[in-house]
Chain A
Amino acid sequence: MPEILSPAFVYVAGAFAALIPWRIPRAVILLAIPLVALASFVSLPYANYDLLNIFDLQLGFLRLDALSFVFALVFSLAAFLSLLFAFHLRDRLEQAASLIYAGAAIGAVFAADLLTLFIFWEGTALASVFLIWARRTEGAWYTGLRYLAIQIGSGLLLLAGLILRYHDTGSIAFEHMELDSLGTWLIFLSFGIKCAFPLLHNWLQDTYPAATLTGSVTLSAFTTKLAVYALARGFAGTESLIYIGAVMTIFPVFFAAIENNLRRVLAYSINNQIGFMVVGIGIGTPLALDGTVAHAFAHVIYKGLLFMSVGAVMYRTGTAKASELGGLWKSMPLTMAFCVVGAMSISAFPLFSGFVSKSLILSASADTGHFVVWLTLLVASVGVLEHSGIKIPYSMFFGHDRGLKVKEAPLHMLIAMGLAAALCVGIGIWPQPLYGLLPYPVDFHPYTTDHVVTQLQLLFFAALAFAMLIRYGLYPVELRSINLDFDWFYRRLLSGMMIVVADQVRTAWRGLVRSVDYRLDRLLVAVYRTHGPEGILARTSQTGAMVFWIAVLLGITLALTYL
């Protein structure tokens, strides 16, 4: 068999194209790299390629099967779209970083063993942090450091876990695992951090809104979906994932509803969407896993599209704050249209991509008798519509006209958004090609009457609620005059309670973080006092002190041997 290399290496080698000094040729060549990489594996038969023996371990860099293929395919698409969206970029550091980042993510998806996975896992962390640092502000610098610490920490957990597992089983193959040993628990935790499990999620909202406007498009595609892939590969059918996922779908809804920064709203909604996938993995039936994969596929595209539309607005207006935007539909009609397509996809309107993928997970949870979970997912779906489906387009393009006079987004952004929107609609109308790619054979028809009707009812009631809240000025971001009307008192109380609860949770969490921060600072000061350049442990010592230690150690050894 001829030697076939992992497409990850195409990206890494391609990153050198960022050295080309002329802007347009550079951007064109960079744009070609995902396509070249895609072409290198798209027509290969499913098998294990690119094996390497390192001392007594066998590494596999290219495991091509249905699961890895779908993820690699959508990652390639995402890499292409985000590079196209960033066509105007002059910053070579960011261009090189996004290529290596995409390459590492694809490399991780193709990894046949845990060690290779670890290498690329850390690769995604190291490359992606430059998308944050590319903003070159003091704040972005520290945000990046926090992000890096968490991501590297996740990698180290993975490393520790894989070593323990190697010791237990004598194999580092990346296969299905059971949570029955410390090693697998560490690996699970490592995946959980990258997947932004509840309480491990803060890096996500901290980081994504802090990246450059093109950087957050790239970021939204890879890291968390890589974790979804890893969970699907390693821990499918682990029951605790169902409940973790259900919590993930529900808790960001409140935060997203009261958040003003639209990129942070989208970051919360990533949590929520990943939650659906995690539930699917936890259920672990073929239908559920197919749902997870399909939803991940659709999600990468519509989430990218939403980040692109917010990015385009930010590019023209310089802000992503809901309170400073509004009424842009006149000046940016195309962006508005694409954004609405993305919003309808994420809210799972029939004929859009979210509908055909999310239905799989919902059906799977209902089929397996997880009624509470199913209900939670339904409620969460309403939340999605609330904060991503309506709030995002509404606050940018409609709502209050803030009199912003801007131009339509640049052509390359429009093309990137247009392609993504076309994919969203295409998948929604003709789901069969996507279903054909899934790991298990699908015999599922999304467009049955009850699916469509349930979904539409849900959507219309959610839309109604939003309209009511807006009409009566109760929507958190839009809070202006409050119209007291007894009829709606109950509703208002409820939504008010939601806000209060969210506020309380947030305050408590901040307090906790602050106190941990404070202790950490104290600890660091103490460490610095002893270990710093002037500290007792780092000073140039007197010979007397050195001799003292010799005497002490000799004494101890003598005592030990005489005992």
Chain B
Amino acid sequence: MPEALFHHLPVLQVVLTLVAAPLCALAGSRWAWSIATAASIIAFAITVTLFSSVLDGTVISYHIGGWAPPIGIEYRVDILNAFVLLIVSGIAVLTLIYAQKSVTAEIGSEKHGLFYAAFLLCLTGLMGVAITGDAFNVFVFLEISSLSAYALIATGADRDRRALTAAYNYLIMGTIGATFFVIGLGLLYMLTGTLNMADLAQRLFDHGDNRTLRTGFCFVLIGLTLKLAMFPLHLWLPDAYSRAPSAVTAFLSATATKVMVYVLLRFLFAIFSFSFAFEASVLRVLVLPLAMIGIVVASVVAIFQDDLKRMLAYSSIAQIGYMLLGLALVSQTGVMASIIHLFNHAITKAALFMAAGCFVLQAGTTSIRELRGIGRDMPWTMAAFVVGGLSLIGVPLTVGFISKWYLVEAFIAEGWWPVALLIVASSLLSFAYVWRVVEAAYLRDAPEGVVRKEAPLSMLVPMWTLAGMSIYFGVDSSLTSAAASRAANALIGASNLFWQ
């Protein structure tokens, strides 16, 4: 690869899909899918290149327009956000391959051009949030991804009119979240006069503790936890996920909330340094208990759901609880557990929502009651669902086990074994909701006179790729755990600088 091109990879990562988006809209329904898929594949290739060049610990700093930070906007790729980029762009490629058949069935063909344009914009936004080193730029990309996500969810209206209210509610909530975030940023800017993250961290530290800083912290925290659906700010999520088109749900569930967890990690550990004792106290007094309550409540709600997608949505809220638990512990192992769960849950949940999408396509329903006996009609889809379900429960040899293992380890290392026990016990709840589906699919007879075929290959392949990964990385977790461990070291190390 020419040196000049390589140098510009960080910006190309974002620009490419941004430019491809209007092309999709212009090209219309016929070509939109191909353009979007091609763009996402190139984006994924760029991510892989970036990831492999930062794996050894180097940090790529790219100055937009040649303006040096802190004046200019800086893109900064380190192991942590390269890992997040890998998840986002990788899932995007798989979802797009999967989407072709699913979207044709669920959305009117006149909207396809716009749909894929919105999809690419959402992808652009999420990658932008991850790659940028500028705090205000985070807000801009956040809005790009959110606005396009609202539109994507609303396209579910062709199948379920309630998608419109879901999208509207999400819009209100998302906007409030983003506004809170930007209010917080405004306060920090007021205090320091800079928006570059690294610079912000240094100046906040020099400034020391004060009320403006604390208020800014609160707004940023609430804004972000709203976007990542922390209990009880999760209320927008079940509707949005269950009523969006299947491909959208698969994509958003695996990426949107995960990117927000990343931003939260970045702000907590790299920008607000830990000399500010109030931060640790908020995390332990507020976030930790809410995460625990969220895990239990959302899992129990999931047990009683009849709609498969809604059940998975509630399970997502519970899983986000695990990530929050890890970061609320404020330790290297805790953060590492969060990061590894971020990856593991992304692939697991995407596979599960893809299976739900296959059911929508072939059986026309996501009602668990109506999916009786589906295991015999769609064995491959259901088997992928079972693999994903085992991973949600945390059965050994799946990625879910790896996540829980590290998380439990982290809590025991700090001596918080009641929380560790809760984590293990909560597996029982996940077992209950996964089991209901397995029972209906394999042990009940199909409803009379229903004909259901196996899903097409173009949907099975991406789904099984993800399901296969949930097993592969469950057996050989050296790559993911090394990446997560280095990322956690980098984050905690960054805040350690300020500790002295």
Binding site for B on A (CB under 8 A): 54-55, 115, 118-119, 122, 133, 152-153, 156, 159-160, 163-164, 167, 182, 527-528, 531-533, 535, 537-538, 540-541, 543, 545-547, 549-550, 553-554, 556-558, 560-563
- Chain A residues contacting B297 (CB-CB under 8 Å) are 531, 537
User: Is the Cβ of A152 less than 8 Å from the Cβ of B305?
Assistant: no
- Chain B residues contacting A160 (CB-CB under 8 Å) are 420-421, 424-425
User: Is the Cβ of A543 less than 8 Å from the Cβ of B304?
Assistant: no
* Residue B218 lies at the interface, judged by CB distance under 8 Å to chain A: yes
Question: Within the assembled complex, what's the spacing in Å between the Cα atoms of A118 and B215?
Answer: 48
- Chain B residues contacting A167 (CB-CB under 8 Å) are 409, 412-413
Q: A531-B297, A547-B173 are in contact. List 15 more A-B contacts (CB 8 A).
A: A119-B397, A156-B425, A159-B424, A160-B424, A163-B409, A164-B417, A532-B304, A533-B305, A543-B172, A546-B169, A546-B172, A558-B214, A560-B285, A561-B281, A562-B211
**17 intermolecular pairs with C-beta atoms under 8 Å apart:** A55-B477, A119-B397, A152-B428, A156-B428, A163-B408, A164-B412, A167-B409, A531-B303, A538-B301, A540-B169, A545-B235, A546-B169, A546-B235, A553-B225, A554-B222, A558-B214, A561-B278
- Chain B residues contacting A152 (CB-CB under 8 Å) are 428, 431
Interface size class of B (residues with CB under 8 A): 35 or more
Answer whether A556 and B396 are a contact pair too, CB < 8 Å, given A54-B475, A561-B278: no
- Can you list, as one digit per residue, whether each of B349-379 has a CB less than 8 Å from chain A (1) or not (0)? 0000000000000000000000000000000
User: Is the Cβ of A538 less than 8 Å from the Cβ of B409?
Assistant: no
- Chain A residues contacting B300 (CB-CB under 8 Å) are 527, 531
Question: Within the assembled complex, what's the spacing in Å between the Cα atoms of A55 and B236?
Answer: 37
- Chain B residues contacting A556 (CB-CB under 8 Å) are 286
Question: Within the assembled complex, what's the spacing in Å between the Cα atoms of A182 and B424?
Answer: 15
Q: Write the nearest CB–CB distance from A71 to chain B, whole angstroms.
A: 22
Question: Within the assembled complex, what's the spacing in Å between the Cα atoms of A167 and B217?
Answer: 35
* Residue B427 lies at the interface, judged by CB distance under 8 Å to chain A: yes
Question: Within the assembled complex, what's the spacing in Å between the Cα atoms of A153 and B428?
Answer: 8
Answer whether A557 and B235 are a contact pair too, CB < 8 Å, given A164-B417, A531-B297, A543-B173: no
Considering the complex, give the chain B residue whose CB is closest to the CB of A540: B239
Considering the complex, give the chain B residue whose CB is closest to the CB of A554: B222
Give the contacts of B444-481 with A (CB-CB under 8 A). 475-478, 481
Question: Within the assembled complex, what's the spacing in Å between the Cα atoms of A366 and B477?
Answer: 53
Question: Within the assembled complex, what's the spacing in Å between the Cα atoms of A558 and B236?
Answer: 23
Question: Within the assembled complex, what's the spacing in Å between the Cα atoms of A543 and B171?
Answer: 10
Q: Write the nearest CB–CB distance from A252 to chain B, whole angstroms.
A: 30
Q: Write the nearest CB–CB distance from B117 to chain A, whole angstroms.
A: 28
Question: Within the assembled complex, what's the spacing in Å between the Cα atoms of A392 and B123?
Answer: 72
Give the contacts of B6-65 with A (CB-CB under 8 A). none
A133, A153, A537: residue with the most chain B Cβ atoms closer than 10 Å: A537
Q: Write the nearest CB–CB distance from A150 to chain B, whole angstroms.
A: 12
Considering the complex, give the chain A residue whose CB is closest to the CB of B307: A533
Main SS of the interface on chain B?
helix
Answer whether A55 and B176 are a contact pair too, CB < 8 Å, given A152-B428, A531-B301, A560-B285: no
- Chain B residues contacting A561 (CB-CB under 8 Å) are 214-215, 217-218, 278, 281-282
* Residue B226 lies at the interface, judged by CB distance under 8 Å to chain A: yes
User: Is the Cβ of A535 less than 8 Å from the Cβ of B421?
Assistant: no
- Chain A residues contacting B424 (CB-CB under 8 Å) are 156, 159-160, 163
* Residue B219 lies at the interface, judged by CB distance under 8 Å to chain A: yes
Q: Write the nearest CB–CB distance from B173 to chain A, whole angstroms.
A: 5
Question: Within the assembled complex, what's the spacing in Å between the Cα atoms of A94 and B124?
Answer: 52
User: Is the Cβ of B233 less than 8 Å from the Cβ of A546?
Assistant: yes
Considering the complex, give the chain B residue whose CB is closest to the CB of A549: B232
- Chain B residues contacting A156 (CB-CB under 8 Å) are 424-425, 427-428
Q: Which of B217, B222, B286, B477 is close to A54, meaning CB atoms less than 8 Å apart?
A: B477
Q: Write the nearest CB–CB distance from B364 to chain A, whole angstroms.
A: 20
- Chain B residues contacting A54 (CB-CB under 8 Å) are 397, 475-477
User: Is the Cβ of B396 less than 8 Å from the Cβ of A535?
Assistant: no
* Residue B199 lies at the interface, judged by CB distance under 8 Å to chain A: no
Question: Within the assembled complex, what's the spacing in Å between the Cα atoms of A563 and B218?
Answer: 13
Question: Within the assembled complex, what's the spacing in Å between the Cα atoms of A544 and B424?
Answer: 35
- Chain B residues contacting A547 (CB-CB under 8 Å) are 172-173, 176
Q: Write the nearest CB–CB distance from B211 to chain A, whole angstroms.
A: 7
Question: Within the assembled complex, what's the spacing in Å between the Cα atoms of A159 and B394?
Answer: 11
Considering the complex, give the chain B residue whose CB is closest to the CB of A559: B218
- Can you list, as one digit per residue, whether each of B194-218 has a CB less than 8 Å from chain A (1) or not (0)? 0000000000000000010011011
